[in-house]
Amino acid sequence: MLTIGKLGKAAGVKVPTIRYYEQIELLPEPERSAGNQRLYGQSALDRLAFIRHARELGFPLDAIRDLLSLSDEPDQSCAAADVIAKKQLTAVKARIARLMALKAELERMIAQCAQGTVADCRVIEVLSDHSHCAQDHRTSGAAE
């Protein structure tokens, strides 16, 4: 059994964040010790690590709730799971596409910023110029 601090370290999540997740019911209420301290098992660690990674990937907590429900209710109808999975897959694909474009842009920036002075460094120039964009982000929905 892990205390909240150990759990946080194991999952890479800060203690107050864990309590916050419990408050918004993303994590179930854990057991308590005789002295009222939270005690967690392996499943809580898995769940928290999942949340952490999904957050890093930019998923809002609502989407994470959806994803968690896929494993929380393994017997739910395939149709429901399918809808959630497809919706998230669409989001994931869009996110990958946009990140690829951003990666290319960053690499170009770094290549152009070859150890000179800002006078020849085009970092800012590149980042202010829409024409360098691989895709038109002005029409894309709010992704972050």
Partner DNA sequence: GTAAGGTCTCTAGTAGCTATAGCTTCAAGA
Partner DNA sequence: TCTTGAAGCTATAGCTACTAGAGACCTTAC
Residues that bind a copy of itself (CB under 8 A): 9, 12, 45-47, 49-50, 53-54, 56-58, 67-68, 70-71, 73-79, 81-82, 85-86, 88-89, 92-93, 95-96, 98-100, 102-103, 105-107, 109-110, 113-121, 123-125, 127-130, 133, 137-138, 143-144
- Binding to DNA by CB under 7 A, coded x per residue (else -) over 34-73, reads xxxxx----------------x----xxx-----------
Q: Distance between CA atoms of 98 and 141, rounded to whole angstroms?
A: 11
Please calculate the CA angle 127-128-133 and round it to the nearest 5 degrees. Answer: 65
CA distance 87 to 63: 9
Residue 31: which of a copy of itself, DNA, none does it interact with, CB under 5 to 8 A by kind? none
Q: Which does 25 bind (CB under 5 to 8 A by kind): a copy of itself, DNA, none?
A: none
CB 18 within 8 A of CB 48: yes
- Which residues contact residue 61 at a Cβ distance below 8 angstroms, ignoring those fewer than 6 apart? 24, 26, 55
CB 56 within 8 A of CB 17: no
Say which entry of DNA, a copy of itself, none residue 66 contacts (CB below 5 to 8 A, set by partner kind).
none
Q: Which residues contact 135 (CB under 8 A, 6 or more apart)?
A: 97, 98, 101
Binding mask 86-125 for DNA (x = CB under 7 A): ----------------------------------------
For position 5 contacting DNA by CB under 7 A, the verdict is yes
